[in-house]
Chain A
Amino acid sequence: MPTSAFIPAFAWQSRAILGRHWRVHLRKWHTALLPPLMEPLIMLLAFGVGLGSQMTALTWNGTSIDYLTYLAPGILAYTAFMTSFFQSLFSAYVRMHFQKSWEGQLTTQVRLEHVVWGEAFWAASMATMYAAMVCVVLVGFGAFGSLTLHWPWLLAALPLLFLGALAFSAIGLLFTATLPSMDHMGLPFFLVIMPIGFASNTYFPLPDLPVLNQISLVNPLYHLCEGLRWLLITGEVHWHLAAAAGLFVLMLLVLIPINMRLLRRRVFGDG
């Protein structure tokens, strides 16, 4: 494993790139704040409350729970996944290809490895921030008596969500490195987001099919959803959390060196 791909994660240059993204974000926080707050609110109201009221209780882990309770941890995990993937794919692609701001940064003491880590950290930070906003919305539901979770575990879940988002950003960057043009942006949604999303237990329990059970075992989002469900509904630290963490680390170890190589070829025409 080439350690040279991971050492730059700790360099000041990677933090400088992360700082650049924060600086830009903080300038437009008032407009940027709305979607991450409204989206989970609408989803929880429409699906959790609206659709949930039309449903009989779900059986999860042999226990009968209402749909809103089932949905809440799933939305938390899905927010981290989607936000990170979208940032590292769409936003990073625009900065690299159209704005050429990567090239500007690379004429300084910043090198490509730092830009890649800066983008990954930013995607993960943004995803964790959005997940934290989902937590706020969930607490709001709890305050109105609509939802009961093990609230202290919400805070404890954030570091794992950051790690997960970092791993998902590595998938996004893989597509940033390889997509031929903006017209192909639909591909990752069909190839990654939809399969991972549907086979994840986020919105509904997977039917008990052997094939789906096998697929879900290697789906990090599935383990994250289930791990968070155990943590927030029962208060138990379940092996799903360890499985999710393990898969996230594995994704980073495999994808980051590949991304570095592919992006070097893409940005400099070298390698």
Chain B
Amino acid sequence: MLLTMKVAFRNILRQKKRSFLLAGAIAFGMLVITLMNALTGGVVGNIRENFSHALGGHIFIMGREWTDAGQMIMKIRPDERLEQLLEEHGAQIEGFTRRSQAMPTMIFGSRQTMQMLYGVDFAEETKLLESLIVTEGSFSEIGTEEASIILPQPVGERLGVQVGETMIIRLETLTGQQNVGEVKVVAFIKDQEELGLSAAYTSRSYLNTLLGMDPHEYQLLNMFLTDLDMVDEFARVFREGLRAEDEEEEVVEAEPAVSVTVAGMPMDPMTEREELTPWEGTRYQIMHINQIMEAVELVVGVLNRVGQVIFLILLVVTMVGITNTFRMIMIERTKEIGTMRAFGMHQKQVKNIFLWEAVFLGLLGCIAGLFLALVISFIVGGIELNTDPSMQFFLDNGKITFIFSLTKVVFNTAIVVFISLLAAYWPARAAAKMSPIKALSSHT
């Protein structure tokens, strides 16, 4: 066995140019499929990460209830069931936020603009303040001045307002009544509009007052989990734990009221009015990041399949080349085969030499392809791209990310080796079956 492997490896080195071209063809195929898999893997990871940040979590809980006037509003009241679930699963929750939100018109003088506004409990969300990059002003007044606001820098510039000045916010209460508040601008922050993260922040209790809610109420509970693999299970546990007794099981796919929002704007605008029968108390909607990622993963799956087909076509072409090459090798080595057979080498050993050559060629091609893929991904991944803001959602801080999957690499290598073996099988069998006498008397 070791001998046949040694002979096979030596044979590859005997015809370096030919081996280089064959392995090069395999390497190219491996390079394409590896880069494609790594790129799609990276894109999925980046979209998931960017979505999580844009939406503020991996699991999103919203509460709905009916007013006495028959109007459905979105709010969450203090609820023992929810608190208990949070406590029970605290170990798996990296962090959670309870926020109110609105899309008010911000007015300063004759200028106005609409801007996503989050009502935040600043004492609870210390990580938020740490993550915001202040360009002007400071957060020192946040704790003392309830009617204060942190504005994205471009919004401040659009309005012409300065830090320390007071501006007006016009919004609707949960039931649709007009309301107006005055807020003091305490700081400008770096905008992350390209990631859908352009948001202003004020204290939750103040925003609640304007929205017509009690200070301890909120609209969204977003959770970051320690392990993303638990998202589906976690959502199921919360969905079941928060379901009212008379509430039917939520069919997630067919739920018309579920509307994912990025920066407060619905991604799937509801064109028809939803007809619902009013209920008592609060009913919860639980969404998770995987639901949002389903569409993305579908597209990525198609891309990966297209890549796999291209890879297989390349391999088939290479296989034809390998078969032809091995047929030529067989003819070139007819006398050599005859000599080996005359010295007592078995048919199987001759066949194995050819097959091992094919395996080594395939493996060398795969290693070269993987190495090239790593080099290219390292170079390309280091370049910071100033692309269209919408493209930033696919990138990690402006850079393309490549995520290599060991499973896919092993799978693709196995395919390459298998196809190389298949391509070399018939020439190898023909070589093994060759009569030693005929082979030695051959003129080739």
To the question of whether A and B form a pair in one complex, the answer is no
Which residues of chain B have a CB within 8 Å of any CB of chain A? none
